[in-house]
Every structure is written in structure tokens, then in C-alpha cells.
Amino acid sequence: MPLVESRFSPPVFLRNGHVQTILAAILPRKSTVRYTRERLELPDGDFLDLDWSRQSNSRLIIFCHGLEGSANNSDIRGVVTAANAAGFDALAWNFRGCSGEPNRLPRFYHSGDMGDLGAVIAHAGATYSQIALVGLSLGGNMILKYLGTQVPHPAIMAAVAVSAPIDLASSARALDQRPGNRLYLGRFMKGLKSKIVAKALTFPDLISTTGLEDIRSFATFDDRYTARMHGFRDAEDYWSQSSARQFLHSITVPTLLITAQNDPFLTTDSFPFLEAKSHAHFFFEAPKSGGHLGFLDARGAWLERRLLEFLSPHLQKIPQRAG
């Protein structure tokens, strides 16, 4: 304990990891979300755009998106809709530069950055006394590192991470080297390169685009840009310091990690069976299928049902807040 035996059982035609990954990304999700945007100013002069879906509930779920995502991703909108229907307010925050407007500083976001997450939690914690965290992919690694290295805000009651690359080096190499991942790698590189081009136009003395178009791997991109822009020595240093797996033993709130065994982005280094076996608070569920952020079954988005099933018992439902 607490290894969790998964009940996720998709139809035969949905058991392939790539099928799950791609269909989940392109199929429309049921969403009735109408966000209210708030800009959170940060001490370093930058900002974060927060997208709220409030229904005067007493409980809040904070959602963290994945690499090159945003609060408007279909998977985020799907889980926000499900959260509202289950009696939760929702906050889907956009990482720096992901809200549709460039952030102000030369840097943007990275997998191990807990400062911005901490600022969002502190801001929400001024209003809500019960908060859950949900992180998808990169956002999952981020919340797991936060829970394993920080004293969590007292309002944090529970958390769920999904398809989290908790060993960043092996995940980067899986995306770089597996032939079946070329489609995903190309899409990620396109988005990341466009951000570098925009940064270089704003900060030409700090950021160069020379050779940018020739970059074809996370190893090269993270070594040249992500690491250097965020104070790391190189890609290996960035991956080593930012990977959440090494911090799982210190988690003190009920936390579930869901990772499909056929996730094309991950290797066995992101499957913490040993950590979960001896942990009182960290739960690991590894269904045989599901792909990367897929988890579609005959009823639709299983993930939306599963994360609320785990979180609801840990956040007490109390009378609605006034207004």
C-alpha cells in the first residue's frame, strides 16, 4: 500500500497508447465553462493570468496544464466542467507566456518551477480554506515537486497528478528517440521555438535564435534555452533538479499519481512502484492502457470521474460561500 489496482478498462479498439493520446487531444470534451480572468502580479515584475470558474462553492481545485498548454485546452476545460458539476470551484492558471499574451521577462516557465505555483496557491488560499491540486503532464511533475519539497499551504487537502514525467531526463529521451513520438515532438518544438523567436525580438541582447530552426530534440532545446533561461547549468542539471520522483517520499497530503503503462512519453523511470509501496500518503495507479492524458473508455473521459472520486472524500463539503 498504497498501490492502487486500476479499474480503468477501455474497449479493445482504444487500448493502444497512441490512439488514446491522439483521440483525447482531438475529440471535443463536454464543457460549459465560462472563465473569468484575473491577472496576478508577481514580485519579480511579471504576471500570471488566472482563469476562474466560480459557482460559489466552498471547495476549490487548482488545475495545472501541461507543456505548451493553457487553461483553454480541451482536457483542462473538461476537468473544470466536471469539477464544477461535482461541487467545486475551479482555478485553471496559465503558466508564464501561455495565456495568449507574452509575459514580460526574458524567462518563461519550466517543469520544476514551484514559485509561480506557490504564488497561485497563496492567492487562492486567501479565499478558500479547502483546496486540491490537479496537474496534467508537466503540471503533474510541478505539483508533485511542490508537495515533496515545500511545506504545503494549510488549505491543501489532496492532489492528483496525471501522466507526469517525474524523471525528466528519461522522458525527454523518450520523446527525442522513439520513432513513434516524432509527431508529438514536432508539435512541442514548434510551440517552444515560436516562444524563443518572440523573446529574441523583445530581448535581442539576451536571446539568440541562431541555429534555432536546426534544433530537433528536447536535449538540445533544454540545454540551449530552458536550462540557461532559468538558472540551470545545462539540460542534465535542469532535468536532475526539476524531476519530482526524488521528492515523493516527503509528500504529506493524500496524493494520487495516475500513469498509463503504455504512455508513449514515459519510461519505467516515471513509474514509482517502490515509493508507493512504503508510503502512507502517496498513491500510485498504473492502468495497462490510457496513453498520455488519454484514459477514454466506453463512457467517455474516465479521468474526469477518477480524479473527483479520489479528491472528494478529502475535501469536506460545507455550506456555500455567500456571493
Residues with active-site annotation: 137, 263, 292
Cell digits for 45?
515584475
The enclosing H or E element of 21 equals: helix 17-26
- Name residues whose C-beta falls within 8 Å of residue 131's C-beta, 6 or more positions apart in sequence: 59, 60, 61, 62, 121, 124, 125, 153, 155, 156, 157, 315
State the greatest distance between any 2 C-alpha atoms of the chain, in Å, as a whole number.
Answer: 58
**What residue has cell string 539576451?**
206
92 is written with which cell numbers? Answer: 485553471
Helix orientation angle between 302-311 and 74-85, rounded to the nearest 10 degrees: 50
Cell of 16: 493502444
Q: CB–CB of 132/315 below 8 Å?
A: yes
Please check whether residue 300 is in contact with residue 19, taking contact to mean a CB–CB distance below 8 angstroms: no
**How does DSSP assign 185-245, residue by residue?**
HHHHHHHHHHHHHHHHHH-TTT---TTGGG--SHHHHIIIIIHHHTT-SSHHHHHHHH-SG
Cell numbers given for 164: 507526469
Burial 113-148 (b: 16+ CB within 10 A, else e): bbebbebbbebbbeebebbbbbbbbbbbbbbbbbbb
Q: Identify the DSSP state of 12.
A: G
Instruction: Give residue for cell 477518477.
Output: 306
